[in-house]
Amino acid sequence: MTSFDSFAMVDWSGGNDTGPRPRKDAIWACVVRKGRAEEPIYLRNRKIAEQWLHNLIADEIASGRRLFLGFDFPFGYPKGFAHALTGSDDPLRLWEWFEERIEDTPKANNRFDLAGEINRRFSCRGPFWFNGLQRDIDGLPKNKSDYHNPFPDRRSVELNPEAKGSFTCWQMGGTGAVGGQIMTGLPVLARLRRVFAGKVSVWPFEALDTPVAFVEIWPSLTLGAGPEGRIKDAWQVEQVAMSLAGMPPEELAGHLNVTAAEEGWILGVSQHKPDIAPPPLRNDCFALPAGVNWTPVDDALALLRQRLTVVTATEMVALPKATGRILAEDIIAKRSNPPQPNTAVDGYGFAGAAPEGPQVMPLHPGRAAAGIPFDGLVPEGHALRVLTGAALPAGVDTVILEEDVTVQDNHIAFHGPLKQGANTRRAGEDVTEGDLVLPAGRRLTPADLALLSATGIAKVLVRKTLRVAVLSTGDELVEPGKSAGPGQIFDANRPMLLSLIDRLGFQPVDMGRVSDDREDLRARLNSAAKQADVILTSGGASAGDEDHVSALLREAGAMQEWRIALKPGRPLALGLWDGTPVFGLPGNPVAAMVCTLIFARPALGLMAGEGWQDPQGFDLPAAFEKRKKPGRREYLRARVRDGRAEVFASEGSGRISGLSWAEGLVEIEDGARHIKPGDMVRFIPYGSFGL
């Protein structure tokens, strides 16, 4: 239940009576009732403030209005403090504990003495510090030179970068300090809570199912000092009350939806649920239907799509760091674009349409430019100089292009007709506040950053980057750059796969090479499973004597040999190693690359949180002839020249030069085909795979 009828915000103070004349750093409050703001109220001391709060709560309850009551001091202390004093983690017990001990009058209170008394239970060097009195207090350090705090310095909420600039609960005085406000504030709240027992609930410790909610706010979270001539405290409580009163209930509910049992929270600071990775994949996720010999490509893809799930946790990143990252939640516009109606051109603005024929209008003094609005009203029949991007001033809804106008003797002349609204942009014509801007799963592009910025989004919740381990297997492999003996070849797959993973927007993890030795391979897989979310191996995936990848996966009981009806490609060993999915790719570089693009890539995308991505191909006339038997799908190394698809002269799957020559793949369907030059074939550029 988060809709309220009245919103009252209170800016608290731990100081003494501030006299009859309204002044800053005193207690200020502002009420917005049924959407109407009252004048901010000056409350010169806490006794008066408590009485005022009492009356407000009683009135609102009596009138059947739900009251949201915000206070600008912490409702709880950092972890462990409540328990140390009261034997309970419940912050509301701590409220009562303070209420029993704080003596407060308009002219004096014992908060520094109580801070000293508390410190004497610990090291006498903390947790509290700062003494605002003339006399020394045993146990209360005046400054932080020998300070020692047995508790955390800050609450979790204060560690959030959004709460930058907040003060700790431990500082008892000095400009901006809140230590004194809490100690003098909590006893007042504790009493009100008792007087109105059952009618008041405290956020975020209790369910807000009563007529009155006490909520911790911090106006400086979003507000500066305010306009000149206004008392900051008065202005801030008014602004916060109006903004919360005007907020859609769903949005307010979103802000109120936090869990912070002991320490409390500041309304408006975002809280992200603990960063727990989603559950691992099921052991049987790669199981193929029994009795099937050769699995068609589409069936294999459908299986992967159906079985695999997101495996990455989430994190918040600032917009400049978000390119290429995958959104973990839907993004809703915080602001319309454009935020207000404005002119699309440099020219002259006036009201209404201009009829056919010559027009003359007196020029109104002043101008409106982007970021420098024109304050006054443009009188009917007058025109004002406007520059591109300027907010339309009152009295202007139509703009004539500067090039179409002659200016003379303080008048403009042009030829009609001109439609009403010409050359202007409507507020929100691009995006309206509250619109879905980008969906979860979107991989952010540079243009997306522009869209997010324009709609008021400064940081986004994204998926952690999927870590993909790459491992080569084979006794014959030598590291490029080393000398290769007879029978040895350089490891070509690993550099290719690592770079491919990087290009696809995942994080490559180089697991090196391993010889055809089962124990070595086992150790390497163990280590890869710890460091990565997915493992790609190449080589050793068939059923031969030296095919240890498939042997080990089979031994682990979570292996499937995928005999996919595909050329080039078979075999593909899919399995889970210690819960981590393994794609056992064929050793032939051409097959390794094709299998990665066709199978691993969409699977990785799904696990990374970007959803299933089908590569976009298009049909082109062939520049080649080919006969193909039915039974399996084929991918040919291809490129486009003069609008026709050429294919590499040799289909040998060890021909690495062809991979490099190609700029994409021609996909030939599973059935039989006789392709003649000029026949249409499907070409998928490497770019469509995200390369």
Interface residue list for ligand AMP (CB under 6 A)? 472, 474, 476-477, 489, 491-494, 538-542, 586-589
The minimum distance between CB 295 and ligand AMP, in angstroms, equals: 19
For residue 154, the partner it binds in Mg ion, ligand AMP, none, with Cβ less than 5 to 8 A by kind, is: none
Torsion of CA 620, 622, 626, 631, to 10 degrees: 0
- Segment contacting Mg ion by CB under 5 A, of 13-21, 178-186, 418-426, 531-539: 531-539
* Binding partner of residue 187 among Mg ion, ligand AMP, none, CB cut-off 5 to 8 Å per kind: none
Rounded least distance, CB 577 to Mg ion, Å: 18
571 near Mg ion (CB under 5 A):
no
3-state secondary structure of 527: helix
Per CB under 5 A, the segment of 392-400, 429-437, 471-479, 589-597 that binds Mg ion is 471-479
Q: Which is nearer to ligand AMP, 474 or 581 (CB)?
A: 474
Interacting partner of 622 out of Mg ion, ligand AMP, none (Cβ under 5 to 8 A depending on kind):
none
The least distance separating ligand AMP from the CB of residue 473, rounded to whole angstroms, comes to 7
Bridge partners, residue 639, by sequence? 646
Tell me the one-letter amino acid at 555: E
Q: Closer to Mg ion at the Cβ: 141 or 539?
A: 539
Q: Is 266 exposed, middle or buried (0-12, 13-18, 19+ CB in 10 A)?
A: buried
Separation between Cα atoms, residue 272 and residue 314, nearest integer Å: 9
Tell me the window of 400-408, 429-437, 584-592, 655-663 that interacts with Mg ion (CB under 5 A): 584-592
CA dihedral for 32, 33, 39, 44, sign (positive or negative) = negative
Which span (184-192, 358-366, 407-415, 580-588) binds Mg ion, by CB under 5 A?
580-588
Q: Which does 8 bind (CB under 5 to 8 A by kind): ligand AMP, Mg ion, none?
A: none
| Residue 472 interacts with, from Mg ion, ligand AMP, none (CB under 5-8 Å by kind) | ligand AMP
Q: Least separation, in Å, of the C-beta of 597 and ligand AMP?
A: 17
The token duo for 170 is 């431990």
Q: Which does 477 bind (CB under 5 to 8 A by kind): ligand AMP, Mg ion, none?
A: ligand AMP
Closest CB to ligand AMP among 398 and 493? 493
| Residue whose CB is less far from ligand AMP, 16 or 488 | 488
Q: Taking the complex as a whole, how short is the minimal distance between the CB of residue 500 and ligand AMP, in angstroms?
A: 13
Segment near Mg ion (CB under 5 A); pick from 266-274, 354-362, 582-590, 598-606? 582-590
Of the pair 204, 540, the CB lying nearest ligand AMP is at 540
CB of 592 to Mg ion, least distance (A): 12
Note the Cα 657 to chain centre separation in Å.
43
| Closer to ligand AMP by Cβ: residue 187 or 658 | 658
Beta carbon nearer to Mg ion, 291 or 487? 487
Number of helical H runs and strand E runs in the chain? 16, 36
327 neighbors 461 (Cβ within 8 angstroms) = yes
Sequence-distant (6+) residues with CB within 8 A of 197 are none
Q: Which does 538 bind (CB under 5 to 8 A by kind): ligand AMP, Mg ion, none?
A: ligand AMP
Q: Which is nearer to ligand AMP, 398 or 560 (CB)?
A: 560
Interatomic CA distance for residues 306 and 304, integer angstroms:
5
Strand ranges (DSSP E) for 597-660?
Answer: 618-621, 626-628, 633-641, 644-647
Q: Which residues contact 136 (CB under 8 A, 6 or more apart)?
A: none
Closest residue to ligand AMP, judged by C-beta, is 587
Q: Which one, 346 or 476, has the nearer CB to ligand AMP?
A: 476
Q: Which is nearer to ligand AMP, 132 or 654 (CB)?
A: 654
Minimum distance, C-beta of residue 492 to ligand AMP, in the bound complex (Å): 4
Task: Give whichever of 452 and 528 is closer to Mg ion, judged by the CB atom.
Answer: 528
Across 537-563, b (16+ Cβ under 10 Å) vs e yields bbbbbbeeebbbbbbbbbebebbbbbb
Write the CA distances from 531 to 234, 275, 519, integer angstroms: 54, 18, 19
> Which residue in this structure is represented by tokens 């004497």?
120
Helix (H) or strand (E) holding 202: strand 200-202
**Inter-residue contact 214 to 201 (CB < 8 Å):** yes
- 587 or 602: CB nearest ligand AMP: 587
Taking CB within 5 to 8 Å according to partner kind, which of Mg ion, ligand AMP, none is near residue 589? ligand AMP
CA-to-CA separations, 79 to 120, 166, 271, 417, 419, in angstroms, rounded: 19, 17, 17, 71, 65
Helix intervals (H) in 401-534:
446-454, 493-503, 518-531
CB of 456 to ligand AMP, least distance (A): 49
Task: Say whether residue 474 binds Mg ion (CB under 5 A).
Answer: yes
Q: Which strand (E) or helix (H) includes residue 158?
A: helix 156-159
Q: How many CA atoms lie within 13 A of 46 on its CB side?
A: 25
Identify residue 565 by its one-letter amino acid code.
Answer: A
Q: Is 539 in the site for Mg ion (CB under 5 A)?
A: yes
The residue (of 91 and 539) whose beta carbon lies closer to Mg ion is 539
Count residues near Mg ion (CB under 5 A).
Answer: 4
* Residue 441 is a binding residue for Mg ion (CB under 5 A): no
Query: From Mg ion, ligand AMP, none, which one binds at residue 25 (CB under 5 to 8 Å depending on kind)?
Result: none
List the single partner that 542 binds among Mg ion, ligand AMP, none, CB under 5 to 8 Å by kind: ligand AMP
Q: Which candidate, 465, 448, 513, places its Cα nearest to that of 610?
A: 465
Query: In whole angstroms, how close is the CB of 656 to Mg ion at the nearest point?
Result: 16
CA distance 253 to 468: 39
- Per partner kind, with CB cut-offs from 5 to 8 A, the member of Mg ion, ligand AMP, none near residue 537 is none
Distance CA 602, CA 78 (A): 45
Binding site for Mg ion (CB under 5 A): 474, 539-540, 587
